[in-house]
Amino acid sequence: MNEILIILFTPLLAGVLAWAFDFRGVREVIGLIGAAVPLAYLVKLYPAVIEKPVDYALTVGGFTLQFQLGTMSWYFAAVASLVGLAMAFGLVATSRSGYDWLFALMSFTGVLGVFLSQDFIGFFLLWELMTFASFMMVLKRNRHESLKYFVLSVIGAYAMLLAIGILYARTGALDFETIRQALIIDVSLGTIGKGETILLFTLFLTAFGVKAGAVPLHVWAPGAYSETDQSYTAFFSGALSKAGVYGILLIYMLMGYKLYAELGTFHGHLTFAYVIAWIGAITVVVASFLAVLQEDIRKLFAYSSVGQVGYILLAFGVGSPLGFAGGLFHVLSHAIFKGLFWLVTAAIILQTGRTRFRDMGGLAEKMPFTFAMGLIAVLSLAGIPPMAGFASKWLIYEAAIQAHMPLVAGAIFLGSGLAFAYVVRFLYGVWFGQRPSELEDVKEAPLPLLLAMTILAIPNLVFGVAPGVVTGYINRILMGDVVGGDYYRLVTQTGTYNALLVSTALVIGLAIAGLVYLYGAKARRVPVTDTYQSGNPVTEEFNLSIRRNFYRPLAEALEFWLRYSWDRFYERLAKLSEDFADALRQAFYNGNVQSYSWYLAIVLLILALWGVL
């Protein structure tokens, strides 16, 4: 039995079994095993993969599906499997139904299949499996949001299908390698014109942009990410969005040369890549601004997730090897810190049953471990050295500025400022300030969830201090010495970052400051209600924390821009078409027998004139 087959289908099998044997204890064990197997096999195959790609062909009903585990697909699959394992541990605590396990693990198989497929048949089938499974996860909680997700996914799927159809018609092949070579040869033959190339590019970009949540196709993400089991969202946002990102890489691999030949360059940048970079930059800025203004913890992280995937698109759009290295690194760091965030959110919601900031506060004392994990995620997302989030962001900065894309790089600066703002909102709203009296008996999250968080928190620290481990592997993927240095030091042509030394300096600084602190007088512990209030007497019944509209001044400064919204635009479009259909229905299907007989007469007349009768 081939390992690739095991990696691919164990999660699905485990999901079906967990659904069939839906007993407490049994489904969890089956599910955990199913989620752990892919990671175990990927680790086992690592030495083989770095030697040469592992191939596998599966023949089903006359079609041959080709799978390959190369260096790049191993990377993506490993990231997805790591998050998948954490998700499974989280689900043990948060889910009570076999339904969740079935579809969560089904989408696991889908994602792995997308990364491993070597032809468009398998790619498309598993892509749809992944979309369907995640749709079912959302459908269970919220019909409206799931439909929004469904409609946009269908648009994406049709776009992809059309593009695949055009490619098949032109090249006669469905496997990636043949298509790639055919398109390279086609540059000199010119059978695919400029218009058609642009069409193909747009179609693929739509298909993958939907999944990655690129603006303006991001509207499904906030709803879908929040209206599902939060442990699953860790996987949904951590791994499924990476399928879209992987698709963008696929565009480069299959069509890169053709697109370059047809579209040329724009001020020294590849035109098509420049488009991707700007889509990424706009996604970063728009989604981060919206994240800052959210009042619901799930919505905040959903928008933040969209924004962070924007960084990856931006990095790939830079188009230089360094850009790819930064983007690939961010794939990993986004998966681990955002997965961690969603698990922390899962723990908070599980223990308090609340999602809005205005109902929470002061939980740090009640859930210290979850708080510590949340803090690690915050530091990593905000890009505080030495965390994994900083190393990847640093590479993206270097890449964008080195490639002379100043305005795009400016968007990263703005985005990281905004990221700082929304994570602090999360810290303040959930963990600090006065605790509402209803939350007095909140307890620490259950053990499986804590384990899940630990699984994702450790890589945040390890790859933060030793980013060279990741860049070393990325060098293999990109087949060149893109990022130099050793385990602890990243060196590019123009810059350098020594993570170990930064950590050391921080430790020195903390030691000095800690000594000053310890040398000082004893501190007396007072409650958060005992504070300086400019002489105003404070009583316990007033909660003085800022619960709502924390960033009100920003909303005021952005008043003009906030009047426009893609979400409302689409909703209006949907409403319009619904009204139109309704008007049609009322005009024609009016229940009047006479008008129905008229329709019949008219149709008969037309047919007669046409010569059918």
Partner 1 sequence: MIDWKLILEVIGILLYATFMGFIFMGIERKAMARIQRRVGPPLYQPIIDTLKLLGKKESISHGFIYDFGPVFALGASIAALLFIPIANFQLFSSNADLIVVAYLLEVPMLGIMLGAMSSGNPFSAVGVQRGLLTMVAMQLPYGLALIALIQHWGTFKLSEIVALQGAQGWSVTVPALLIAMIVFDIVFQAMLGLEPFDIITAPAEISMGPMVEYGGKHAAILFTQHAVQIFAETAFFAVLFLGGASNLLELLIKQIAVLFIAIFVASIYPRFTIDQAAKFFWKWPTILGIIAVLLTV
Q: Where is 325: in which H helix or E strand?
A: helix 321-352
Which of 44, 96, 404, 585 touches partner 1 by CB under 8 A? 404
531 near partner 1, judged by CB under 8 A: yes
The continuous run of DSSP H or E covering 330 comes out as helix 321-352
Residue number, 267 or 443, with CB nearest to partner 1: 267
> Least distance (Å) from partner 1 to the CB of residue 386?
10
Shortest reach from residue 535's CB to partner 1, in Å = 11
Q: Does 556 bind partner 1 (CB under 8 A)?
A: yes
Stretch that binds partner 1, among 18-26, 148-156, 415-423, 464-472 (CB under 8 A): 415-423
Which listed residue (413, 566, 589, 598) binds partner 1 by CB under 8 A? 413
Q: How far apart are CA 361 and CA 544, in angstroms?
A: 11
Q: Judged by CB under 8 A, which of 184, 261, 427, 469 binds partner 1?
A: 427
Which one among 292, 346, 376, 381 touches partner 1, defined by CB under 8 A? 292
Of 232-291, which residues contact partner 1 (CB under 8 A)? 267
CA 80, distance to chain mean position in Å, is 11
Judged by CB under 8 A, the stretch of 16-24, 55-63, 258-266, 517-525 that binds partner 1 is 517-525
Q: In angstroms, give the least distance from the CB of 484 to partner 1.
A: 13
Q: What is the dihedral of CA 228, 230, 236, 238, to 10 degrees?
A: 160
Residue 332 beta carbon to partner 1: minimum distance, rounded to whole angstroms:
19
- Phi and psi torsions of 546, nearest 5°: -80, 110
d(CA 602, CA 613): 13
Q: Report helix, strand or coil for 484.
A: strand
Task: Write the CA distances from 373 to 40, 441, 456, integer angstroms.
Answer: 25, 21, 9
574 binds partner 1 (CB under 8 A): no
From 127-135, 441-449, 513-521, 597-605, give the range in contact with partner 1 by CB under 8 A: 513-521
On the 0-12 / 13-18 / 19+ scale of CB atoms within 10 A, 1 is exposed
Cβ-in-10-Å burial (0-12, 13-18, 19+) of 466 comes to buried
Minimum distance, C-beta of residue 516 to partner 1, in the bound complex (Å): 6
* CB-side neighbour CA atoms (13 Å) of 114: 28
Query: Per rule CB under 8 A, is residue 394 in the interface with partner 1?
Result: yes
Contact 491, 485 (CB under 8 A): yes
State the minimum distance, in angstroms, from the CB of residue 156 to partner 1: 32
Where does this chain touch partner 1 (CB under 8 A) — which range of 12-20, 57-65, 109-117, 418-426? 418-426
Contact 426, 300 (CB under 8 A): yes
Least distance to partner 1, CB of residue 505, Å: 4
Establish if 562 lies at the interface with partner 1 (CB under 8 A). no
Please state the closest distance from residue 389 (CB atom) to partner 1, in A: 11
User: Measured in Å, how far apart are the chain's first and last C-alpha atoms?
Assistant: 62
Q: Binding to partner 1 (CB under 8 A): which residues in 363-392?
A: 364-365, 379, 382-385, 390
DSSP-assigned beta bridge partners for residue 64: 59
**Could you tell me if 293 and 555 are in contact, meaning their C-beta atoms sit under 8 angstroms apart?**
yes
Given the complex with partner 1, which of 200 and 408 has the nearer CB atom? 408
Which residues within the stretch 433-452 sit at the binding site for partner 1 (CB under 8 A)?
433-434
Of the candidates 30, 29, 31, 33, which has an alpha carbon nearest to the alpha carbon of residue 41? 33
Which region among 23-31, 73-81, 115-123, 429-437 touches partner 1 (by CB under 8 A)?
429-437
**Beta carbon nearer to partner 1, 11 or 464:** 464
198 binds partner 1 (CB under 8 A): no
Measure the CA–CA gap between 1 and 5, rounded to whole angstroms: 7
Does 420 interact with partner 1 (rule: CB under 8 A)? Answer: yes
